[in-house]
Amino acid sequence: MSKIITLITDFRTSDGYMGAIFGVIKSINMNLEIITIASNIPPADIRKASRALANSYRFYPQGTIHMVVVDPTVGPLRRALIIDDGRYLFLGPDNGVLTPVLKNNPDCNCYDVKNPKYQLVSASETFHGRDLFAPVAAYLSLGIPPDEFGPPITDPLLIEDPQPEIMGKNIIGKVIDIDAFGNLVTNVPAEMIPENPIITVCGRKIEGLSKSYADVQEKQPLAYIGSSGTLEIAINRGNAANYFGAFIFEDLKISDGGKR
């Protein structure tokens, strides 16, 4: 059974760096498929890479190897991790980018990739995507067990996402992602939201939850449960980030509008 290796990276499509990573992998194992989950992540944006991973990884077949190469702290002091969550293997820098995996399953096994046998020799310490992550991913796909690459560790770096807070009768949430359509993805899960919410963001109010964009007039705002299961805010055929002037980590307030 051939394997899938996925890639999430802040490399652009124009430099050939991604091409070098693909070549290293295929030279070690021709019998696998590489799927780019996300490229052109804003440079060094660990939070955005982490979101792309959270949006996609659980939809892949068991045994998929997910590799994340967004690595502003690349160098000899920054550890490289393999994480085994029982269903997938994950590979990436120990900079917090794999946090969603560790939050979803605290029983993951983590390994510190150290064994030079599975890395390319290079004069440079600046391209771990090609020299470390690519060969390690390829050897993992050949069935080399994770603990062959380095010792287990129990202290991977975690990034704490802001959590929604209850203040009196209101919920205070935050915008935790703005996607390429300008939709505002928040950290407030569906379960916390009252039946008929009044949502205030950037001084403007949205009443009620919609099921789909077309529930409101064109260019009007709506709130809905997004594809990740949390509250999102959009403009029907428009860009909510521009409309509201909203930035990442913008606050929003959710109050109970009572029975409809």
Residues 144-173 binding a second copy (CB under 8 A) are none
**Which residue number, 202 or 213, has a Cβ lying nearer to a second copy?**
213
Cα separation, 189 vs 183, whole angstroms: 16
Determine which residue in the list 131, 136, 140, 174 makes contact with a second copy, applying CB under 8 A: 131
Contact track, a second copy, 225-254, x by CB under 8 A: xxx-x--x-x--x-x---------------
What is the Cα Rg of the chain in Å? 21
Contact track, a second copy, 78-97, x by CB under 8 A: x-------------------
Does 124 sit near a second copy (CB under 8 A)? yes
Taking CB under 8 A as the criterion, which residues in 166-205 touch a second copy? Answer: 179-181, 190
**Which residue number, 181 or 249, has a Cβ lying nearer to a second copy?**
181
**Which residue number, 72 or 151, has a Cβ lying nearer to a second copy?**
72
Does 6 sit near a second copy (CB under 8 A)? yes
Contact track, a second copy, 10-49, x by CB under 8 A: -xxxxxxxxxx-xxx-xx--x--xxxxxxxxxxxx---x-
- Quote the least distance from Cβ 196 to a second copy, whole Å: 17
